[in-house]
Structure 1
């Protein structure tokens, strides 16, 4: 995978967070999200502490709210679901500003919003500080199966190419008078998706043959040095704090 292909979620920088090996950041993000999800929804103070840990990491890595805010829109469908829950759920109800809201629905909405938002923020932090080309090596060092690493590597390499093809096909259809917003164009859209799928399948076969002819054995070569003891201690420090917070929240 060429190092010249930079993912749009990656934020160029030379901070200590950027310099950490990928396997450290992947494990830290995974365990951190697990700790957030496992935290009782009633422990509001715990979620505030999680956010404080993230703010410290952002300050060190040079990640600003202006960069994070537009990328948080991926969470919008979950926000819509959370807003509807207090009106749709049954159970005890309270009146807020003249609206009758379900207490279980409010708790469920809070649970979705806070955990989903923190999970997305952790993922964005990982993406902003980890180059795409470093992810396969990090996954390999975490003993992820080779076939999974290979699939992830090729997906990261070719997803932008496929997205570009879809955009060019859409532009060509509009140039020929097509209106993709109308319902009667569903068939044409479906045929376009099928065409992209066939192209992706054929390209995958050609890429596999080309890689096999060059001696590819199913293992992604590791091009960087593994993480040292200091890297693990420094990189996992926020995660250890998150696990301690989650444990304390259950004990309290």
Structure 2
């Protein structure tokens, strides 16, 4: 398994990266180049491509562009139309926190507008993670905050040097503005629905970052030789970590064999 830290992120971050290379076409080409390197190094005609959250936005575009490199594509927390997902998340969280009687969070959410017309307010971007994690619908069902759930575990990771760990966050802050607005408004379901390789979606029932209903609607409109949808009933954004036994079973039984025996039934 290869965990790739893309151009401008983590171990691939460098202050010398030309800003003009931070484009989606270049990111897609980078992914294909890495895939070709791995295929050659390990003597494989095809490898498996898995994209998670933001990685699913790029990954599914790579799958469409270069299907001959891959056994299959797995989209975990598959993005479909992120701005609509943000609007739905805001409405959901407002309802949850109202039902809980959390007047403070309700006031903050009401002062942090999100809309299809105006996009995302700065107040929403500052609030969204905390509101999601408090409701159990963020990165994982049980994460308390980005600090305790992501920052500190990364900081304790021995596989990275101190410089690598710092660059994880430098890269995140530097890279995101190049892609965020375009990704938000891109409705993949209107332009990318035909694939020449098997397509699998791993979706958490409680995911409000990449809305589960939108992922399902996108999946239903896809035409692929084989396609399987897997709703993880106790997961949010990260089924592979939240329900590893089921995810592993699906990967070994269905994905690597091009079958869908463990998939959810179609409506």
TM-score normalised by L of structure 1 = 0.28
Larger helix fraction of residues: 1
Between structure 1 and structure 2, the one with the greater Rg is 1
Larger strand fraction of residues: 2
TM-score normalised by L of structure 2 = 0.27
Higher relative contact order (CA 8 A, sep 6+): 1
